[in-house]
Amino acid sequence: MIPDKTVERLSLYRWLLEGRVEPGTVHLFSHQLASMACVTPAQVRRDLMAIGYTGSPNKGYRVKDLSKSIGRVIDGDEPAQVALVGMGNLGRAIVSFLRGRRSALKVVATFDSDATKAGRMISGCMCYPQGKIEEVIEEKRISVAILTVPAEAAQKVADRVVEAGVRGILNYAPVPLRVPEWVFLENRDVTAALEKVAYFARQSAEGKSR
Amino acid sequence: MIPDKTVERLSLYRWLLEGRVEPGTVHLFSHQLASMACVTPAQVRRDLMAIGYTGSPNKGYRVKDLSKSIGRVIDGDEPAQVALVGMGNLGRAIVSFLRGRRSALKVVATFDSDATKAGRMISGCMCYPQGKIEEVIEEKRISVAILTVPAEAAQKVADRVVEAGVRGILNYAPVPLRVPEWVFLENRDVTAALEKVAYFARQSAEGKSR
DNA sequence: TGGTAGTTGTGAAAACAGTAACAGCGTTAC
DNA sequence: GTAACGCTGTTACTGTTTTCACAACTACCA
């Protein structure tokens, strides 16, 4: 099993390889990729070891091959289907952001509790009423859910999508979620992140003045 | 120095203490707080050890005291001033989300490259043209910046806010940033997070079927 | 042909994060 | 009064992630 952090970096490496290298570049050294990703060369080599990709000494890694190898590991055979629940400001922003990116991941359904949004295309994606969560998730074989609902609703929505078969949740609601241990959960609380940044910013400022 | 992850959890604990406990609760045990935060009691005790707060055996922690203690450590004496650069969909969503939350942190300025947005209040916050970044950051003593700009612009904006005195950056642009080692950087790439969740969701599904 | 420079892959060590275990101490029960 | 209970604070342990360091390898050059 590939560790958490490594998967995140692999995703970044691939993105860099697909369009951020000098056009025409065939080979790439670990220190070049490291420099682009702002990590150490050793880190890059260890990450690539995790997916079993192997370059050649004195030549480095083949850009195309590497990018494909990462894709095979991260995306698997068929791309995952994604749903987003909660078409508020944040939800709409994320949907339209994701639409603009090439990715194996496609948001194929969105949900909102506001019935007036139901049945319409919003930000380029069909929006269903929340009552249809189970039905649509099962029908479209959705395995990943993004939650951008208010704190009060988050746990209930999480329970429902899990019950319907979702295996991974990306949670933007500022509340901890209780999910079965076989569901992967990633929390992205904006406030917590901001408070963390502010804390370390202050530490840095104090260290400097001292 | 308090570790990264601990600060994030402390922020969560405080939020839970301020409004998620039964009204009238004076004392709280580590296992109760742990249950609310979805972590282990040992984790809670260890985190509180980091800030030097001490409860009493057989009574637990005083809700009010603990909440204040966490505040003293995380917020410090005066609240940090925050700026947000890039008032696209995501930027506006984050600003209005943060406005709705009680927090020591205040977004006191936003910036956008679109000149027609300049000088107006957007999502309840004054929006300045990007040319004024240095001026406003210095004048308002802003120490934290949230970046919600397109990938191409991110590094340039980061350089400018750092030059102007910012000590912490919360980066939503999907590109790694190069900053001096005394600037705290937190990346929140949506795509990377989603690909990670999808990867582990797939792992979980395969493990189950096997 | 042999030497050199420069890279990869990986074992070993270090740093970091989380868990378990337990001594110590109020509180309560009797 | 004192024994038992249940919780905290802390130390020791376990597991994970990152860094270090170097043998092995390839291409190139003289």
Q: Comparing C-alpha atoms, which of A15, A18, A191 is closest to residue B74?
A: A191
Mapped onto helix, strand or coil, the DSSP state of residue A154 is helix
Give the H or E element holding residue A62: strand A61-62
- Determine contact, residues B111/B83, Cβ cutoff 8 Å: yes
Residues of B in contact with A137 (CB under 8 A): none
- Alpha-carbon gap, residue B149 to A51, rounded angstroms: 32
Contact state of A192 with B11 under an 8 Å Cβ cutoff: yes
| pLDDT, tens only, B5-62 | 999 999 999 999 999 999 999 999 999 999 999 999 999 999 999 999 999 988 999 9
Q: Which nucleotide is nearest to B49 (CA to C1')?
A: D9
- Determine contact, residues B193/A98, Cβ cutoff 8 Å: no
> Which residue in B8, B75, B176 is closest to A38 by CB distance?
B176
**Does B173 or A101 have the greater pLDDT score?**
B173
For position A13, what pLDDT does the model report? 98
Measure B71 CA to nearest chain A CA, in Å.
10
- Alpha-carbon gap, residue A126 to A122, rounded angstroms: 6
Measure A210 CA to nearest chain B CA, in Å.
14
**Does A115 or A149 have the greater pLDDT score?**
A149
Residues of B in contact with A169 (CB under 8 A): 197
For position B113, what pLDDT does the model report? 97
Q: Which nucleotide is nearest to A8 (CA to C1')?
A: D17
Query: What's the Cα-to-Cα distance from A49 to each of A6, A26, A62, A119, B17, rounded to whole Å?
Result: 10, 20, 15, 46, 44
- Alpha-carbon gap, residue A14 to A32, rounded angstroms: 14
Residues of A in contact with B207 (CB under 8 A): 182
Burial per residue of B78-109, b for 16 or more beta-carbon CB atoms within 10 angstroms, e otherwise? eebbbbbbbbbbbbbbbbbbbeeeebebebbb
Mapped onto helix, strand or coil, the DSSP state of residue B122 is strand
Measure B170 CA to nearest chain A CA, in Å.
7
* pLDDT tens, chain B, 210 aa long: 899 999 999 999 999 999 999 999 999 999 999 999 999 999 999 999 999 999 998 899 999 999 999 999 999 998 899 999 999 999 999 999 999 887 889 999 999 999 999 999 999 999 999 999 999 999 999 999 999 999 999 999 999 999 999 999 999 999 999 999 999 999 999 999 999 999 999 999 887 654
Order of strands, sheet of B81-85, starting from the edge strand that comes earlier in the sequence: B121-122, B125-129, B106-112, B81-85, B144-147, B168-171, B184-187
Q: Tokens at residue A15, please?
A: 């993105």
For position A210, what pLDDT does the model report? 43
Our measurement of CA B40 to C1' C17, in angstroms, reads 13
> Which residue in A74, A96, A143 is closest to B89 by CB distance?
A96
> Which residue in A4, A192, A208 is closest to B196 by CB distance?
A4
Mapped onto helix, strand or coil, the DSSP state of residue B65 is helix
Our measurement of CA B144 to C1' C1, in angstroms, reads 62
| pLDDT, tens only, A28-75 | 999 999 999 999 999 999 999 999 999 999 999 999 999 999 999 999
Chain D positions with any atom < 7 A from a protein CB: 5-11, 16-21, 24-27
- Alpha-carbon gap, residue B145 to B158, rounded angstroms: 9
Residues of A in contact with B78 (CB under 8 A): none
Q: How confident is the model at residue A91 (pLDDT cuts 50, 70, 90)?
A: very high
Is the CA virtual torsion B186, A13, A35, B90 positive or negative? negative
- Determine contact, residues B146/B68, Cβ cutoff 8 Å: no
Contact state of A198 with B105 under an 8 Å Cβ cutoff: yes
Contact state of B38 with A200 under an 8 Å Cβ cutoff: no
Task: Scan for tokens 């990729």, then name that residue.
Answer: A33
Residue of chain A with shortest Cα separation from B6: A196
Measure B126 CA to nearest chain A CA, in Å.
19
Contact state of B82 with A194 under an 8 Å Cβ cutoff: yes
Measure CA A31 to chain center.
25
> Which residue in B12, B192, B201 is closest to A12 by CB distance?
B192
Beta strands in chain B (DSSP E): 27-28, 61-62, 81-85, 106-112, 121-122, 125-129, 144-147, 168-171, 184-187
- Alpha-carbon gap, residue B20 to B164, rounded angstroms: 39
Chain C positions with any atom < 7 A from a protein CB: 5-11, 16-21, 24-27
Residues of B in contact with A146 (CB under 8 A): 194
